[in-house]
């Protein structure tokens, strides 16, 4: 309920998970602590749409050392991460809520309740960058519920199918429509809050600097530097040019010529500018 009532604390969850990952990876080399790239994605929902805060952490398989050497890391310290995850999360929450005696007392009791640390599920290494990218796309843009999981709606009640992670069994949950909407809408993020955060080598303020350093240190430097970066306008033009279109009147093929977008302005006007799309047969 602490995170439910104060959604601003969710960013602390991401920060604690990243700090634990950076510290755990840093212990893999005592002379020069390697710094990995870390991306965190916070989810507030469980499979039954209940309030279940957890964070997905994607970490590079190695890190950049202070002496400019790329340090591969094959074994991830899972047990150590459990304790670090607990320590950093409770420490940051206690610091944020230091003037509230009730929450601080509850936070302190969690050390005794979970003596070996909080639950952590460490997955194996991804075989390729494309598989890792698919993982990122799945979890960064994933909604709380997909339409295919809604199996029935009779005008009053909604039935949702899900797999219980505790016993791995397929189950169904039937809720009144209003209660279903309440469960779903509780996972809508407040405005301007982000669920994806970047740390370590992925830190936005120093990302370009880190990319060049890693490219020089790694034997796969050509894969580290990003390829040709296209703007939104260029990507839209490529998508429109590649998709075949037909004239609604005669059925002939249409050729994409140009795309004109409205100019950016912050002035308040009664009429809104619209883009112009030019096609020719």
How confident is residue 10, by pLDDT bands cut at 50, 70 and 90? Answer: very high
27 with 52, same domain? Answer: yes
Where b means 16+ CB within 10 Å and e means fewer, 35-53 reads bbbbbbbbbbbbbbbeeee
Map residue 13 onto helix, strand or coil.
helix
Residue 106's domain comprises 2-143+192-224
Question: Which residues is 63 bridged to in the sheet?
Answer: 71
Q: Are residue 35 and residue 129 in the same domain, yes or no?
A: yes
Among 194, 196, 226, which Cα is nearest to 210's?
A: 226
User: Do the Cβ atoms of 230 and 44 come closer than 8 Å?
Assistant: no
On whether both 34 and 74 belong to a single domain, the answer is yes
- Answer whether residue 154 shows pLDDT above 60: yes
pLDDT, residue 21, reads 92
Cα separation, 93 vs 2, in Å, equals 10
178 and 273 in one domain? no
Which one, of 50, 60, 72, 49, lies nearest residue 136 by Cα? 60
Residues 122 and 101 in one domain: yes
Using the predicted structure, report yes or no on whether residue 162 has a pLDDT greater than 80. Answer: yes
The SS3 call for residue 33 is: coil
205 and 250: one domain? no
Residues 59 and 197 in one domain: yes
The reported pTM is 0.74
If asked whether residues 70 and 169 sit together in one domain, one would say: no
Instruction: Check whether residue 116 and residue 12 sit in a common domain.
Output: yes
Query: Do 51 and 124 belong to one domain?
Result: yes
Domains of the chain: total = 3
State whether 34 and 102 are in the same domain.
yes
124 and 255 in a single domain? The answer is: no
């Amino acid at each position: 309920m602490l995170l439910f009532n104060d959604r601003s604390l969710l960013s602390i969850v991401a920060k604690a998970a990243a700090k634990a990952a950076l510290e755990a990876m840093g212990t893999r080399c005592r002379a020069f602590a390697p710094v990995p790239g870390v991306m965190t994605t916070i989810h507030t929902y469980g499979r039954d749409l209940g309030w279940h805060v957890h964070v997905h952490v994607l970490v590079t398989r190695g890190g950049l050392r202070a002496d400019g050497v790329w340090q591969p890391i094959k074994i991830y310290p899972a047990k150590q991460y459990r304790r670090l995850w607990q320590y950093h999360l409770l420490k940051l929450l206690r610091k944020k809520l230091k003037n509230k005696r009730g929450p601080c007392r509850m936070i302190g009791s969690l050390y005794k309740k979970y003596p070996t640390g909080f639950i952590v599920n460490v997955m194996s290494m991804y075989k390729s960058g494309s598989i890792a990218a698919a993982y990122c796309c799945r979890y960064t843009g994933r909604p709380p519920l997909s339409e295919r999981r809604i199996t029935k709606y009779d005008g009053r009640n909604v039935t949702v199918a899900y797999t219980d992670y505790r016993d791995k069994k397929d189950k169904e949950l039937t809720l009144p429509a209003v209660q279903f909407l309440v469960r779903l809408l509780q996972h809508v993020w407040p405005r301007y809050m982000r669920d994806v955060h970047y740390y370590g080598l992925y830190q936005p303020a120093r990302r370009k600097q880190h990319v060049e350093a890693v490219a020089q240190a790694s034997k796969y430097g050509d894969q580290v530097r990003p390829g040709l970066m296209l703007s939104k306008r260029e990507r839209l033009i490529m998508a429109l040019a590649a998709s075949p279109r037909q004239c609604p009147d005669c059925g002939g093929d249409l050729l994409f010529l140009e795309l004109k977008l409205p100019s950016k302005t912050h002035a308040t006007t009664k009429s809104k500018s619209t883009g112009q799309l030019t096609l020719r047969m």
